[in-house]
Structure 1
Amino acid sequence: MCTNTGTYLDVPFHRFADGHDLTGLALERVSGVPAVCIDCRGRTTIGPDVLAGLSLQGVAVLFHTGHSRHFGTPAYFEPHPYLTEDTAVALVAAGVAIVGIDSLNIDATHSPEGDGRPVHTTLLREGVPIVEHLTNLAVLPSSGFTFTAVPPKIEGLGTFTVRAHALVS
């Protein structure tokens, strides 16, 4: 079964054999989570500067890059926006609940910077779930909404498709 299709969520088992699988995912980390949407359009490399001044403890952080507009075209697989390892470290330090992006991958997949998937490694090592291939982030406000991305509870899987959605206050 191909479980990383469409919009999907990764948990630690996706990267680490001893990390928890989907059965170990706490629903409060992925359901009805207070959220922010950070506008990163026009940037390929997303550094920690985009987090300045934000209170992110227990928050879902969604990165709106605009890259989802290329979905279904060859351009989607070309160099895409991604987070830096420093950004992942800052997200962990801030105590975020979950991180999402509307891009092919949260790591660089087209440059040596992404070798070893440092963003996946940093976030998943600390138990922070990752959602990739989000869409329609342009309709969200920068804050004042909740985010949900719940996968089925399946033993032995580290990633699975979700129906991600937001509820705006």
Structure 2
Amino acid sequence: MSSAFLKNETADAPVVIPARAPLPPGTPNYVTPHGLVLLRSELTDLETKRAHLQATEVDDENERSRRLAWLNGSIANLNQRISSARVVDAQEQDRIRFGATVGLRIQTGKLAGTERQFTIVGVDQANATQGLIAFTAPLAKTLQGKRIGETVMVPSLQGKEQMEVISIRYGIA
């Protein structure tokens, strides 16, 4: 079992800082304007937690040191991600690009006629359950450059589904 699930960590065990969502090598860190706001808000939250922990008296100095190390590492990772961020504002509104919210209608299979909506965002903002997909995801790559009325073949659990682009909007994410 991973030590991440055990409460009895030793004081000398290394502090594990979770990695940020990966970017393929050489890929710029594109973010939406809202995505940058979210990253900065996350940074403020971590810095507030660090300041609170530094100001709080604790019984276990080793635990404080471990938490501070985790917070400092997380803040460093986040600062690096923010400093590398390239904010992308939509310029070409009639094609699917980064930042687009795309409406799709499934044209084949059991779900024919069903509509889906996705927004193409940066890797740190991506959350599939909220319909936010990273620009590095296969679906986003398939949709890039398409216009309303065009169809795309999208991999699904049932195989490949044909979908039609029914709407493109910008400025939502």
The question of a shared fold, defined as TM-score above 0.5 by the shorter chain, is answered with: no
Flag the structure with more relative contact order, 1 or 2, with Cα contacts below 8 A and sequence separation at least 6.
Answer: 1
Please tell me whether Structure 1 or Structure 2 has the larger radius of gyration of its CA atoms.
2
Structure (1/2) with the larger helix percentage: 2
